[in-house]
Amino acid sequence: MAKKGYIVKSHFSSGRIPSPKGFRLYINKIMKQKDMSTADEVAYKNSVWDERGEMHKLLTQATRVLAHRTGLVSIATTNTGDIYFAGLANLLDIQEFINREMERQVFQRLEQMEYWERLLSKFGATEDHDIYFILGDEGYSDPIYDSCASIFGEFESNSIKGMIGVVGPKRMHYDLVAPQIKYFSTLLEEMMREQKLGVSV
């Protein structure tokens, strides 16, 4: 596995850990996503139902809910230049973010809409999962993806296109988090279309 680049030793005192290539192999070939329970799906829907009539309120609440339920930092972006994020307090419980320099870089990135537009434009949804897994192995360099990863799902309603997802440690439970993002992004799209959000007047 090491010779093929699937595991690496990050420093002399550590054991071997999966490389981005190793995580990619796991996600694409090995991982079985765990189905969300009906109760969890209902809870997600109820948590944003009252905000469905206004885009800003809906996405603000959606990022809060996603951060709470995953324990990660959540982000939503739209093609109108809006960016929403929540769960910054969760950084305190994630070992990878204890480093102050890493915290600073993440905080900076969260407020840079151009960064997310550029980053997300590089990727296509995976055939099997319909969501984006960003692991730092895609031919670009960014320090936060040395130890972190992101999962995003797309939504679209009329003239509005966007993404919602999370930033967390590479060791996150992809099989648990990915189904939540897939369901939530689909739910948001359905709500937006039902409410005709994004329709030009």
What's the structural domain count of the chain?
2
- Residue 127 in contact with residue 164, Cβ under 8 Å? no
Match 């329709």 to its residue by tokens: 199
55 plus 143 within the same structural domain:
yes
7 plus 90 within the same structural domain:
no
User: Does residue 145 lie within any of the structural domains?
Assistant: yes
Strands 7-9 and 16-18: antiparallel
* Average pLDDT rounded to a whole number, residues 49-66: 95
Query: What DSSP element (H or E) covers 168?
Result: strand 160-169
User: Does residue 201 lie within any of the structural domains?
Assistant: no
Q: Does 94 or 194 have the greater pLDDT score?
A: 194
4 plus 81 within the same structural domain:
no
User: Does residue 199 lie within any of the structural domains?
Assistant: no
pTM above 0.75, yes or no: yes
51 plus 4 within the same structural domain:
no
Strands 83-86 and 73-78: antiparallel
Q: Does 107 or 159 have the greater pLDDT score?
A: 159
Match 């796991």 to its residue by tokens: 26
Strands 73-78 and 16-18: unpaired
77 plus 109 within the same structural domain:
yes
Could you tell me the end-to-end alpha-carbon distance of the chain, in angstroms, rounded to an integer? 57
44 plus 2 within the same structural domain:
no
Residue-averaged pLDDT of the chain: 82
pLDDT at 201 > cutoff 50: no
User: Does residue 154 lie within any of the structural domains?
Assistant: yes
| Predicted pLDDT of residue 179 | 94
Please tell me the distance from the alpha carbon of residue 183 to that of residue 175, in angstroms, as a whole number: 13
Domain that holds residue 7: 1-30
Q: What is the pLDDT of residues 169-186, one digit of tens each?
A: 888 999 999 999 999 999
Please tell me the distance from the alpha carbon of residue 53 to that of residue 68, in angstroms, as a whole number: 22
Task: Indicate the pLDDT class of residue 13, thresholds 50, 70 and 90.
Answer: very low
137 plus 190 within the same structural domain:
yes
The DSSP secondary-structure symbol of 1 reads: -
